[in-house]
Structures are given as structure tokens and as C-alpha cells.
Chain A
Amino acid sequence: MCTLGYFCRYVPQELLEACGFKAVFFKPDFSSPQCSSLPVPFCALCKTFISWALNHREFSGFVVPLACDASRRTYEILRALSVPAFSLDVPALAGETAVERLTENLDDLARELLAQSGRSFLEFTASLKQALEETLRQQEAFFREWGKRRRAPDRIPLLFSGSHFAHVLLPLLEEKGFLVFPDLPENRILLGEEPLSLTASPLEDLARFTLHRLPCPRLSGPARRTALKRLCGTLGLRGVVIVFSKFCDFQLYEIGLLGRSLGLPVLCLEHDTTPSFPQWETRLDAFREMILHG
């Protein structure tokens, strides 16, 4: 089976698989190499993704969402370097207009991929429907698991937000006595909302599903902040840790906005893709003390 690489949750894995590809999600860590031809003040994730793509020429291609300035450039750079790249334009809006637009864009991407894989559109639609049903089942499992996780009274529950490199810090946070609730799109269902039901149009379902999830920092409007505030209230979270890479504009704007609106202690851990574990340990200890003793 042919393989496609991608790095952003806006690229739906369900669609790639329904088109007949194996989808590989890029999950960098602090040791991932970076494309050195790009200037310093440029997204570290995109630099590492470009480097990863160049080292995986055996893949059939890479799907890049046109969701931010850095990803737009990443797509152009991959094309210029003759790496097969497919783009998905993601609206910067929420609401019905955005659903309609994203549906059209997903349709364009699907047709482009189907032309590569040779799978029929009918086959694709049936496969996508199945994939979405599976996703809904996974959401239920996610909900049950987080329900269990909440029952850990000896730990300090906190919201953990951050981009791709953040997962590397999870063990450290657990070790420091925190109960970590990662800032995931699936968290929307923890807010007690009814899951979306499937209709006769799987592409529209997919678009709705993608945009209905808890908005990411890219859509840093009031909807995200309200949802995060509700999430913190619902789960009884006592603080927020944000891990961010130096040149991610969305994270950088969000830090200022969250600091102003959540009303909880916030700890920001910045990195330029070189880890600072000893320093982070000290800061997490101080943060823990601050939450426990005010």
C-alpha cells in the first residue's frame, strides 16, 4: 500500500485511508533534524517536517494543510524540491460557510488522491463512511478513558496545551504529580455535548467533524477560550501549562489571550527545539508549589 505523510490534525486521516493510502502522522521530538536552509525565525515543526519528508522519499507524497504562514511555505518548498505534496486549504473561520468551504476542499483533495491511487469515488465514499463510524466509536472510548482518569484525587489536574513537541514533556509532568489533560480536539465531547451523527454525505460529515472539534490555537477566537474555560471548570483543572515552540504565531498570540481570560495559573515553557529539562523541572516544581500553597 502507498504511504502518505502528514503533520497536522487538520489533515483527516480518515480521508487519506479512504483514498487507499496508509497515513503516517509525523510526531517529532527534540532530536529530529531540521531543514537548515530556512531562516532562524521560522516554525520549527515545519523545518523538521521538511527534513523528514526529504528523508522519506519512498512515500507517495505528503499532505500539507494551508493553515498558517509556515505550512503554506512548507507546501511551496516541498513542491520546489520536487517532493510530491498535496495541499488542503483550511478556512480561518468557523460556522456553516466554513463547513461548506472545507467540504469542497476535502472533495478536491480526495479527487487528487484518488487519481493517484486508482480507487473509485464510490469505493472511497463507502470507505470514508466506515472510517467515520470507527472514529465515533473511538471517541466514546476516549470519553470513557478520561472519565476514569479524572478519578485520581492525589494528583493536581491541569490542562496541558502545546504543539507537536509537547508530548515529550508528558512523562515529566506525570512524574511531578500532575494529572495531565492534554488540549485535544476530542475534548469537545468532555464538555457534555452530543457527538455528531452521520448523514448521507460523508465528506460533509468529515468537514463538520473537523470544525466541530475543540478549536485549536489557530482559531484563537472567543469560541476556543470559552470552550477551554468550560473545560477547566468541568474537569476541575487547577492550572495550565503551555509548551510552545519559539516561532509559532498561533501559540504566541494565544499565550497572551489565555493569560488574560482563563483565570488560572499559567506556566509557559518555551523551546527552540532544544530541550531544557533541568530548567523545566525547576519551573514545574515552583508551579506545583504555587498551585498547592497559593
Chain B
Amino acid sequence: MDEIPPVLLRILRFLLERRMLFQLLEPYEWWLRRKYPNPPLPQFSYQVTIHTIRNLYGRRGKIAWASLFFPSEFFHAARLIPFYPEIAIGLVAALRFVQTPLAAAEKAWFSQDLCSYHRGGIGMSLLRLFPRPDFLFATSSICHGTVGFFEVLREIWNVPLFLVDVPKQWTRDAEGYVAEQLTAIARHLEREWRVHFVWDKPFFFSNRTREILLEVEALRQRKDRMLLPPTKNLDYLPYYYEFLGEETSLRFAERLKEELSKPSKTLPHRLIWLHLKPFYSGELPALLEKLGLGVVYEEFTTPFPEELSPSSPLKSLARKILWASEILATSRGRIPGILEALKRYDAEGVIQFTQWGCRQSQGMVMLLREKLLEAGYPVLFLDGDHLDRRHSAPEQLRTRLEAFLEMLEGRGSS
């Protein structure tokens, strides 16, 4: 499925540009809702996907593309439709279609050494398969590659780019600086594009979702329940980012809590998962499950620890942006956070699937390994690519996971 003939691509592009075609999904959505009045999580996710496709390709509003750590509440408050290309490309990979956009980007001189989330987004844009943006929003928060990625998107789509520069240290002064930039962007949107911000509803949904996700975290700390297959929670990333601030995420969180409300099958080993995972195949989660390596916490699904305040919305969002940068992209914030999570979840060790093109995580491997081993926790760094299967080596992966398992079991018996 990875290689798509050009004629099929043209047909696909033709269909994706027909807005009316996607309006036809409305009766289908209605029928799904009637058939499954209280859908389980997979059916719920399916319905959300259909609805999102109708919103985006049916162009039911202005579309704002955003980098992963630009808070979605900003867009929901402005009644813009958020689209996170770094998340969407994961879905494209899961549909086994990602090699085509990756090849398109490489053909346009974007090297294989760049982050494949970004390269894939560039490829989907060059092929005009992602929905056309009206605006682009990015932060320099956790990775500077994002800035380059969004500059390329601006060039391809020829639409305004709003870039928020995020200082590398979280100080009161930095909060003011980020909040000022957000204010300037909001004012520009109000003035030039007649966008009107209403914060109460998205902040209510975001705060309520956060409360339930904290309950989910508490449930995951219990030894008699586990989300399976391991790393499954990373498939739900859109609910933690794109839909946060609308009812969808709240309903998801309620379902997730419901799923964890009763004791369930568990695996013998409790681990923490860092960074993301390969989305192009289910081989890795299946292997982890087979080896009894359960995942109880993923750093990318950690909810923001504070409530968002509708009385100072942009300051709240500035704090959220700086928090993400601090806990994911600085060793002084990330490493203590991981050590604390290891204790809180009573986890035995850590696995990171290090993305080939991710400079910020590659650069932290040395520091992370040293600090975790010093604290007595085994750590496994798997190398590869989350999207580009050309960098995958399944047998090597198996060998390394088996060796890690032996190490964990050796520690348990000693």
C-alpha cells in the first residue's frame, strides 16, 4: 500500500478537493450515532475521525495548522478548526501510506535525516493531500526543527505563519514574553480576520478533561489494571492535543476512565515510555505484550498540572507552553519528572524509542542514561524511526527487548 501510482494520487487529490462530497458524511455520522448511542472507545474514535474529516475536508470553518505544543484551546476559543500535521502524519503512517509523502519530500530536497513527522507533513503538503490551511501556528517550544518545518509549510501554502518564540528557561519574565506574543497574535486575528475569542467553554472542557485524566493517571498507578496493548495510549494523542478544549476530549477521557474502572489483564513488568513510537505497524506493541512488558505511563500524554484560567487566558496558555518545553525539552525538567513518575507508578524501568531525526531527544540520551542508571533504573534506548519503515529492523528490536527483559528479570530475582 506504501507506493501509490501517480494516477491514483491525482484521483485522490481530486476527491479531497470536493468539499460537497464530505458534506455527505453528515447522514452517515447521524446513522452511526443512532446505531451506537453509547459507543465503546474504538467506535467512539472512529466516529470522531469521520467527523474530523468532514470538518477539515468539508471546510466547515477556517483551518489552523499548529505545531504539537501550540495549545488547542486557543483555536477552539477562536472557533478555528485545529489541524496538527505532526499527529495527522502518524495516522497516515498507520494507514500504511506514509512512504509516498516521504518520497515526495525527499524529491523536493528535504533530506532523509530530517524528522519524519516534519518530512511527512511537507510531503503531504506538496502532494496537496492534507486540507489546505488558512493559518499556520507554531512554537519553538520543544524542538527547533518545528520552526524550519513551519517555514517550509508557509512557503508551500503561502498563508500567514504565527510563530511563538519560547525562551529556554521558565521564568516569570519568560511567561510575560510568551503571553505578549500570544496577545499580539490574538489581536492580529481579531483585527485582520475578524476572529472573536470566547474562552469560557474551551477552558471548561479542557479543565474538566484534565481532572478526569488525572483520575485516569491514578487508576493506572494501580497494580490490577493496565492499558493494553502496551503504548495504546499513544494512539489517542489527538485527544490530548487537537481536541483538548472541546467536548470530544472530555468524552474520550470519560471512556478511558470507564475502561480502567475495573480490574483488567495486566502484564508482569511495569514500564515508562518516553517519546513516541512507530506508528506504521502494530509489531512493537504486540511484541511488548508477548514479552510481558507493560507500559503504565507515557510522557507525551501527561496532562498540564494547572487549571486554565478564563480570567487570564493567554497567561495560562503561556504557562502551558513553557511547561511543555520545561518537562520535555530540558534535562533539568525532564529527568526529575521521569524519576518521579517511576516512583509514582511503581515502574521498573524506562524505554525510549528514539526518533532518528529528533535532535533534541537524541541529544538528551547521554544525560538520561546516566541519571537513570545512577538512580538504579534500567533504561533501553531503541533506535529507529516512528514513521519511516526504511529505518526499522524488527529482528534487532526483538533481540534488544529480549535482552532488556532478561535484565529486568535478573534484577527481580537477585
Contacts and interface: CB of A to CB of B under 8 A. Distances in A.
B383 A39 contact: yes
Interface in A14-63: 37-39, 41-43, 46
B163 A92 contact: yes
Interface stretch (A68-76, A134-142, A277-285): A68-76
Lowest 8 CB-CB distances: which A-B pairs, in order?
A73-B363, A253-B148, A69-B359, A69-B360, A92-B140, A256-B109, A66-B168, A92-B165
A225 to B, nearest CB: 8
A260 B108 contact: yes
Interface in A210-253: 218, 220-222, 246-247, 249-250, 252-253
SS of B interface (majority)? helix
A186 interface: no
A42 B362 CA distance: 7
Contacts of A39: 354, 362, 365, 383
Nearest to B105: A256
Given A70-B359, A77-B366, A247 B329 contact: no
B354 to A, nearest CB: 7
Nearest to B357: A41
Interface of B: 105, 108-111, 113-115, 122, 140, 143-145, 147-149, 151-152, 154-155, 163, 165, 167-169, 173, 177, 180-181, 184, 329-332, 354, 356-357, 359-360, 362-367, 370, 383
Q: Kindly name the residue among A77, A253, A268 whose own CB sees the greatest number of chain B CB atoms within 10 A.
A: A253
Interface stretch (A93-101, A117-125, A150-158, A194-202): A93-101
Contacts of A222: 154-155
B362 A253 contact: no
Nearest to A88: B168
Given A72-B329, A101-B177, A256 B147 contact: no
Contacts of A68: 144, 359
Nearest to A76: B331
Contacts of B114: 249, 252-253
Interface residues of A, number: 46
Contact of B148 (A37, A73, A249): A249
A257 interface: yes
A76 B330 contact: yes
Given A220-B151, A260-B155, A261-B155, A246 B113 contact: yes
Contact of A220 (B110, B148, B365): B148
Contacts of B366: 37-38, 77
A161 interface: no
A264 interface: no
Given A87-B168, A92-B147, A247-B113, A72 B360 contact: yes
7 contacts: A69-B359, A73-B359, A73-B363, A247-B359, A249-B145, A253-B145, A256-B110
A147 interface: no
Most chain A CB neighbours (cut-off 10 Å) among B115, B165, B357, B359: B359
A253 B144 contact: no
A92 B110 CA distance: 21
Given A69-B145, A221-B151, A89 B167 contact: yes
A270 B114 CA distance: 14
A97 B181 CA distance: 9
| A67, A218, A257, A260 — most chain B CB neighbours (10 Å) | A257
A135 B363 CA distance: 35
Contact of B144 (A41, A69, A221, A256): A69
A69 B143 contact: yes
Contacts of A77: 363, 366-367
A259 interface: yes
A292 interface: no
Contacts of A104: 173
A240 to B, nearest CB: 12
A251 to B, nearest CB: 9
A257 B151 contact: yes
Nearest to B329: A72
A114 interface: no
Contacts of B152: 253, 256-257
A205 to B, nearest CB: 21
Contacts of A252: 110-111, 113-114, 148
Nearest to B173: A104
Contacts of B105: 256
B357 to A, nearest CB: 7
Nearest to A101: B177
A89 to B, nearest CB: 5
A43 B359 contact: yes
Contacts of A87: 168
A80 interface: yes
A149 to B, nearest CB: 29
A261 B156 CA distance: 11
Given A92-B165, A249-B145, A256-B110, A38 B363 contact: yes
A190 interface: no
Contacts of A101: 165, 167, 177
A69 B331 CA distance: 12
Contacts of B356: 41
Nearest to B184: A97
Contacts of B151: 220-221, 253, 257
A182 interface: no
Given A92-B163, A256-B109, 17 more contacts: A38-B365, A39-B365, A43-B359, A66-B168, A70-B359, A76-B331, A80-B370, A92-B147, A97-B184, A101-B167, A249-B359, A250-B144, A252-B110, A252-B114, A256-B105, A257-B151, A261-B155
